[in-house]
Amino acid sequence: MLLFPMADYTHIVDLDNEIQAQRLSGVLDEREIPHRVVTRYDTVYAGIFQTQHGWGYLEAPHEYTDEIRELLVDLTADADDSHNDV
Domain boundaries, the chain: 6-78
Question: What pLDDT shows up at residue 41?
Answer: 72
Q: pTM of the predicted model, to two decimals?
A: 0.77
Give, in degrees to the nearest 5, the angle at Cα 26 between 6 and 57: 50
Mean pLDDT, to the nearest integer, of 14-27?
A: 95
Question: What pLDDT shows up at residue 76?
Answer: 87
Report phi then psi at 36, rounded to 5: -145, 130
Angstrom CA distances, 23 to 1, 4, 15, 30, 59, stand at 20, 22, 11, 11, 15
